[in-house]
Amino acid sequence: MKIHVVNHYQDMSVKAAELVAEQVKDKNDSVLGLATGSTPEGMYSRLVKMHQEEDLDFSAIRTFNLDEYLGLGPDHPQSYHFYMHQHLFHHINILQKNINIPDGKAIDAETACRDYEESIVNEGGIDFQVLGIGGNGHIGFNEPDTSLSAVTHVVELTEKTVKDNSRFFDSEEEVPRKALTMGMGPILKAKKILLLASGEGKSEAIRATVSGKITTQVPATFLQLHPKVILILDKEAAKLI
């Protein structure tokens, strides 16, 4: 694991965008695995700037998002479809056909998960996976549990995640209780992984990720098994390592 500790959120975002841009330039048809949430917002805004001012070219880039709430369609302002278009896709030259996000409105969610998994395999797997981390150590929506699923699946969100994510909704009741998430398999098979964390609320999960025992109760600890993981942390997130 390579660990960069930077002073502030903004520094984390700039450094993260530089690494993504490097990947995009080195392999212009890279398959990027993408995360949502508040952590990567600054990175996306920097990438948009790099596209607008430095012609960073996404025309052959393919993307797979980690997850989506079950029950939310692409027009719902809290759906991850909406988020991704708002923060990145609307502002860069990516082709619509190259964007993949699990379908929160799928009539048959299990089949949608299987199809999603198959598409990742058909595209050759993820070249570069961007991750945030939950305060409970979740990755995507792979929540702490007695077992972890390797493939894309439907998951029940923990009370902690529902509470943490309620800040984006009008009330906690409105937060969907289920989601579709990429499993640990394609994440750990990614050629490179970049994990971002900011703020003290992530410090315990980061301590476990870096030096805790590998356990399904903290899914991010599985990253210890991957040969090419880069962590970019601000000082608060890094305070326990």
Q: Provide the binding-site residues for ligand F6R, judged by CB under 6 A.
A: 35-39, 66-67, 132-134, 138-140
Strands ordered across the beta sheet of 99-100: 2-6, 229-234, 192-197, 128-131, 31-34, 62-65, 99-100
Whichever of 38 and 93 has its CB closer to ligand F6R, that residue is: 38
Q: Closest approach of Cβ 131 to ligand F6R, in Å?
A: 6
Q: Closest approach of Cβ 93 to ligand F6R, in Å?
A: 23
Residue 33's DSSP bridge partners are 64, 129
Whichever of 139 and 223 has its CB closer to ligand F6R, that residue is: 139
Q: Which among 67, 68, 103, 236 is annotated as catalytic?
A: 67
Dihedral (CA of 125, 91, 140, 193) sign: positive
Q: Which among 98, 136, 142, 165 is annotated as catalytic?
A: 136
Q: Catalytic site residue 143?
A: yes
DSSP string, 140-161: TTB-S-SS--SS-EEEEPPHHH
Q: Catalytic site residue 136?
A: yes
- Cβ-count burial 177-215 (b if 16+ within 10 Å, e if not): eebbbbbbbbbbebbbbbbbbbeeebbbbbbbbbebeee
Tokens describing residue 141 = 């929506």
Q: Which among 127, 143, 164, 234 is annotated as catalytic?
A: 143
Q: Catalytic site residue 91?
A: no
Q: Which candidate, 236, 237, 231, places its Cα nearest to that of 15?
A: 231
Q: Closest approach of Cβ 54 to ligand F6R, in Å?
A: 26
- Nearest residue to ligand F6R by CB is 132
Q: Closest approach of Cβ 160 to ligand F6R, in Å?
A: 10
Whichever of 140 and 183 has its CB closer to ligand F6R, that residue is: 140
Residue 232's DSSP bridge partners are 4, 196
Q: Which among 138, 153, 164, 234 is annotated as catalytic?
A: 138
Q: Catalytic site residue 138?
A: yes
* Residues classed as catalytic: 67, 136, 138, 143
